[in-house]
A and B are shown apart, each in its own frame.
Chain A
Amino acid sequence: MSLQFVVDGLLTGSMIGLGAIGVTLTYSILRFSNFAHGDFMAWGTYATLAVVGAIGATFGKVAPIAPLSFGWPLIVALVVGMAFTALLALLLDRVLFSRLRSQGQAIIVVMASFGASMALRSLLEFTFTSRPTYFSRAIQIAMPVGFGIRITPDQIALLLLTAVLVLGVHLLMTRTQTGRSMQALSQNAALARIVGIDVASVVRVTWIIGGALACVAGVMIGILVQIRPFMGFDMLLPMFAAAILGGIGSIPGAVLGGLIIGLAEAGAVQLIGAEWRAAVSFIILMAVLFVRPIGLFGVRER
Chain B
Amino acid sequence: MSETVLEVRDLEAGYEPGVPIVRGASITVAKGEIVVVLGPNGAGKSSFIKAIAGLVPITRGTVFLDGRDITAAPAHTMVRLGLAFVPQTENIFPLMSVEDNLRVACGILERREIPGRIEEMYAAFPDLVRQRRTAAGNLSGGQRQMLAVARALIVHPKVLVLDEPSAGLSPKFVSMVFEMLADIRKSGVTILLVEQNAKAALAIGDRAYVLVEGKDRHEGIASELWNDPVVAELYLGQRPLKSEGGSAA
Contact with B along A189-220 (1 / 0, CB 8 A): 01111111111000000000000000000000
Q: Is the CB of B93 within 8 A of A187?
A: yes
Shortest beta-carbon distance, B172 to chain A, in Å?
A: 23
A177 to B96, CA, bound (A): 13
Which residues in A have their C-beta under 8 angstroms from that of B105? 195-196
Which residues in B have their C-beta under 8 angstroms from that of A188? 90, 93
- 20 A-B pairs within 8 Å (CB atoms) are namely A177-B104, A177-B106, A180-B96, A180-B100, A180-B104, A181-B107, A183-B96, A187-B96, A191-B87, A192-B76, A193-B76, A194-B55, A194-B87, A195-B79, A195-B105, A196-B77, A196-B105, A196-B107, A196-B155, A302-B137
A302 to B93, CA, bound (A): 11
Chain B contact residue count (CB 8 A cutoff): 29
Q: Per a CB cutoff under 8 Å, which of B55, B80, B96, B137 touches A190?
A: B55
Chain A contact residue count (CB 8 A cutoff): 19
Residue of A nearest to B103 (CB): A180
Which residues in B have their C-beta under 8 angstroms from that of A197? 76, 104, 107
CB contacts between A and B, total, < 8 Å: 68
Q: Per a CB cutoff under 8 Å, which of A190, A192, A196 touches B108?
A: A196
Residues of B101-137 at the interface with A, using a CB-CB cut-off of 8 Å, are 103-108, 137
Q: Which residues of A contact B (CB under 8 A)?
A: 177, 180-181, 183-184, 187-188, 190-199, 299, 302
Which residues in B have their C-beta under 8 angstroms from that of A194? 53, 55, 75-76, 78-79, 85, 87
Q: Is the CB of B104 within 8 A of A195?
A: yes
A183 to B92, CA, bound (A): 12
Residue of A nearest to B85 (CB): A194
Given contacts A191-B93, A196-B105, A196-B107, 15 further A-B contacts (CB under 8 A): A180-B103, A183-B95, A183-B100, A187-B94, A187-B96, A190-B90, A191-B87, A193-B54, A193-B75, A194-B87, A195-B107, A196-B108, A197-B104, A197-B107, A302-B94
Chain A binding surface, main DSSP class: helix
A136 to B95, CA, bound (A): 45
Which residues in A have their C-beta under 8 angstroms from that of B106? 177
Shortest beta-carbon distance, B244 to chain A, in Å?
A: 36
Is B91 in contact with chain A by the CB < 8 A criterion? yes
Is B151 in contact with chain A by the CB < 8 A criterion? yes
Residue of B nearest to A190 (CB): B55
A196 to B94, CA, bound (A): 18
Which of B103, B107, B137 has the most C-beta atoms of chain A within 10 angstroms of its own C-beta? Answer: B107
Shortest beta-carbon distance, B20 to chain A, in Å?
A: 21
Which residues in B have their C-beta under 8 angstroms from that of A198? 76
Which residues in A have their C-beta under 8 angstroms from that of B74? 193
Residue of B nearest to A181 (CB): B104
